[in-house]
Amino acid sequence: MQGGMASAARATGVGIVYEGSCTQTTPTACFSNAGSPIIGNTAATGTANDSATVTETTATTVQQGGVATCAFGTYNPFAFVGFTIAPTTPTLLAFVDGDEGTNAGLDLYNRQETTAITTDGPWQATLPSSNTGDNIAQCIGIIPIGF
């Protein structure tokens, strides 16, 4: 706080628990990965300013039975829509939830991996109607139950 004036900030946060993920393993959650539900303990990210798209920088590791989860966020004070079009390549992501409205927002997509441990992505999300914004992407692989 400067000069006694409070400042405002806009933010969006997401908390997710996936049924069938190792977070449900008892008595010790995610025992094969030092307690982390994220495979490899890494996240693929990407940013793009004043752009209609955003692409994660690297592929995401996903274990068989696990879930690739991606969050795509955008900021544009003049457009009130987020990444409502599901990324389709290299594989289709399914829309899970979104927080569009004030200054656009955040959209969450996922995909369950049915094959052996693999890498998937990188995915690119595109804003609808030729909108642009300051964009961010983050994708992770969530370990399935029993690991």
Q: Is residue 14 in a domain? A: no
Alpha-carbon span 59 to 120, nearest angstrom: 5
Output the pLDDT for position 93: 94
Output the pLDDT for position 55: 93
Output the pLDDT for position 53: 94
Q: Is residue 19 in a domain? A: no
Alpha-carbon span 77 to 101, nearest angstrom: 10
Judged by DSSP in three states, 24 sits in: helix
Output the pLDDT for position 82: 87
Q: Is residue 111 in a domain? A: yes
Give the CA distances from residue 3 to residues 6, 7, 8, 28, in Å, rounded to whole numbers and listed in that order. Answer: 9, 11, 15, 49
* Domain count of the fold of the chain: 1
DSSP 130: T
Output the pLDDT for position 1: 39
Q: Is residue 29 in a domain? A: no
Q: Is residue 51 in a domain? A: yes
Output the pLDDT for position 87: 92
8 Å CB contact between 39 and 142: yes
Q: Give residue 108's identity as a one-letter amino acid code.
A: L
β-pair type (60-62, 118-120): antiparallel
Q: Is residue 102 in a domain? A: yes
Alpha-carbon span 33 to 142, nearest angstrom: 11
Output the pLDDT for position 85: 86
Q: Is residue 44 in a domain? A: yes
pLDDT in single tens digits along all 147 residues of the chain: 345 555 554 555 556 666 777 777 666 677 777 777 888 656 778 999 999 999 998 888 888 888 898 999 999 888 788 888 889 989 999 998 888 777 778 899 999 888 877 888 899 999 998 899 999 999 988 888 776
Which domain does 64 fall in, by range? 38-142
Q: Is residue 129 in a domain? A: yes
